[in-house]
């Protein structure tokens, strides 16, 4: 976990922390260059109770190594990823 993830999970009751992690895993950062997707949680971030869609985040893609403005999209899943 990243520092910010530790910070939030330390402060929150466990069920809140679990909900926050689950929601952060549904938010995907999508590379504009190669289309690679990874979750906000995997990128070391936290996204919770946020509703904006289509926001762009400057990131370095782990797949192609390019810096770019990744699209941020929520992709709900039926099962919780581990």
User: What dihedral do alpha carbons 69, 64, 29, 76 form, nearest 10°?
Assistant: 150
Options 1, 4, 64, 81; binder of Zn ion; rule CB under 5 A: 64
Q: Which stretch binds Zn ion (CB under 5 A): 7-15, 20-28, 40-48, 57-65?
A: 57-65
Q: What angle do CA 71, 68, 23 make, to 5 degrees?
A: 35
Q: Which stretch binds Zn ion (CB under 5 A): 3-11, 22-30, 33-41, 73-81?
A: 33-41
Examine residue 61 and tell whether it contacts Zn ion (CB under 5 A). Answer: yes
Phi, psi of 45 (to 5 degrees): -110, 175
Task: Give the interface with Zn ion as residue ranges (CB under 5 A).
Answer: 31, 33-34, 36, 61, 63-64
């Amino acid at each position: 976990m990243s520092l910010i993830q530790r910070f939030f999970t330390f402060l929150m009751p466990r069920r809140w922390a679990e909900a926050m992690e689950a929601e952060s895993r549904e938010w995907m950062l999508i590379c504009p260059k190669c289309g690679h997707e990874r979750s906000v949680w995997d990128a070391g971030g936290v996204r919770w109770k946020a509703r904006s869609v289509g926001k762009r985040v400057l990131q370095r893609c782990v797949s192609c190594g390019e810096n770019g403005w990744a699209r941020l999209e929520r992709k709900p899943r039926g099962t919780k990823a581990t």
